[in-house]
Each structure stands twice: as C-alpha cells, then as structure tokens.
Chain A
Amino acid sequence: DTGVSQDPRHKITKRGQNVTFRCDPISEHNRLYWYRQTLGQGPEFLTYFQNEAQLEKSRLLSDRFSAERPKGSFSTLEIQRTEQGDSAMYLCASSPREGVWNGYTFGSGTRLTVV
C-alpha cells in the first residue's frame, strides 16, 4: 500500500489551455473523491466516485471540468479552457465504502497555476 498518488505535483499552464490530472487511489478503496483547495481556504468537495460511477458532483464543478474513473481504478480530472480562477491545489482522496467514517486518505495534491 503506497497511499494515494497524484500526478503531476505541480502544473503551470497558460490561460485557455486544457490540463489533466491523475489520481491513483489505494488499491482496495472503492470510493474516490476530488477536492479543490484555494489559498487560505479549506478543501472544497468537487466530486466523488464509487467504483467507476460518478455519483455526486458539486456546483463548483463547472462544465469545463470533467472527471472520470474508468474501470474503477485510477481517476482523471480534466479542466478545459483554464482560467486564472482555477489556480488551486487539487486533492484526491480515497476510502473504502465501509470505512469512510475512518476518514479519507488524501494524496499530496496537484498544484495548478494558471498564468
């Protein structure tokens, strides 16, 4: 068990470009979450998957954002036509369905800077 892995750790992109982030959860965890953390704020929920099904999306997740979890393993978060307001830390977390109240396991995050 190597924990939750996120790639890349840092991404700098120009406004208007598309970016994609990857998250590899703990292998036996069937729930996967994406959160966004802006400077000086706590993480905010974006979306969550149970296996391959995306079961909930926050209103923060505009139509420029799309997340997938093919085969219920790793997940990708894509942001199209990035804006400066998208600059944030994007955190992935996973948990087993039965043990969600033991707390998620978070990855180290991907820091996105849009210039």
Chain B
Amino acid sequence: AQSVTQPDIHITVSEGASLELRCNYSYGATPYLFWYVQSPGQGLQLLLKYFSGDTLVQGIKGFEAEFKRSQSSFNLRKPSVHWSDAAEYFCAVGARNTGNQFYFGTGTSLTVIP
C-alpha cells in the first residue's frame, strides 16, 4: 500500500538558515513524488515533482528535492530560508492506478524566526 511519512511535525529555523524537510514513502514501484506548500487557509501549491531521471529536482521559490531510492526518501531542501516560506509543507506520492490519486503525508509546519 502507498503511504508517506513526514517525521517532523514542526520545524523552526532562523531566516537565512538552510532547511531540510524529510519525507519517506512506501510504494511498490517507481513512485511519482511531489512536494506541495500550503499557506494558512489556502489550497496547496505545487513546489516540485519527480518522475524519473536526475534524482535532484529543482522547483519554484528556490526549493529542491533529492530522490534516494535506497532510502525511500524525497527530502525537500532550501539553502536560505525567507520569512515568507513559513507555511505547511506536504509530501505526496502519486498512485499509478486509474484515478492517479495522490497520497499525502501529514505535513510539516515551518516557522521562520527573524
């Protein structure tokens, strides 16, 4: 069965510091992986996605993520965090079935302190 684990419920970083958000997935085949960001009271915005090929993918807003098959991980990184990055971050795996539904993790809440 497909599942996604985000081990960190909440992370606090200082503005300008680097960031890494962890994501581990369980899926029986090569996964389609995504990171979404959600600001309070808003819908989800796609940050980046991975299907195949280069395991380091670049996204919007300066984010990147690295797919590591051996660790079943797809961690999100940013070298220098801005105050506007404070939000909820969700990792998701896409199922290659008829509906192509996504399975989301429980999210990591990011607080940025000045």
Binding site for B on A (CB under 8 A): 4, 6, 31, 33, 40-45, 48, 55-56, 91, 93, 95, 100-109, 111
Which residues from B are CB-within-8-Å of A95? 100
Bound: A44/B3 CA distance, A = 11
Do A101 and B100 contact each other (CB < 8 Å), given the known contacts A41-B106, A42-B92, A106-B43?
yes
Do A103 and B34 contact each other (CB < 8 Å), given the known contacts A43-B90, A45-B101, A111-B41?
yes
Residue of A at shortest CB range from B43?
A106
- Whether a CB of chain A sits under 8 angstroms from the CB of B46 is yes
Bound: A34/B99 CA distance, A = 12
The 5 closest A-B CB pairs, nearest first, are A42-B104, A106-B43, A56-B99, A103-B46, A45-B101
B32–A33 CB distance below 8 A: no
B 74-114 to A, binary, CB cutoff 8 A, 1 in contact else 0: 00000000000000001010100011111111110000000
Could you list 8 examples of A-B contacts with CB < 8 Å? A42-B4, A42-B105, A45-B101, A48-B99, A100-B94, A103-B34, A105-B46, A108-B42
Query: By the criterion of a CB under 8 Å from any partner CB, how many residues of chain B are at the interface?
Result: 25
- Whether a CB of chain A sits under 8 angstroms from the CB of B45 is yes
Residue of A at shortest CB range from B34?
A103
B1-33 contacts to A, CB under 8 A, are 4, 32
Bound: A109/B43 CA distance, A = 6
Cβ-defined partner of B43 (8 Å) among A4, A42, A103 = A4
Q: Could you tell me the distance in whole angstroms from the C-beta of A77 to the nearest C-beta in chain B?
A: 15
Do A100 and B100 contact each other (CB < 8 Å), given the known contacts A43-B90, A106-B44?
yes
Q: Could you tell me the distance in whole angstroms from the C-beta of B35 to the nearest C-beta in chain A?
A: 10
B98–A56 CB distance below 8 A: yes
Do A104 and B106 contact each other (CB < 8 Å), given the known contacts A42-B90, A42-B92?
no
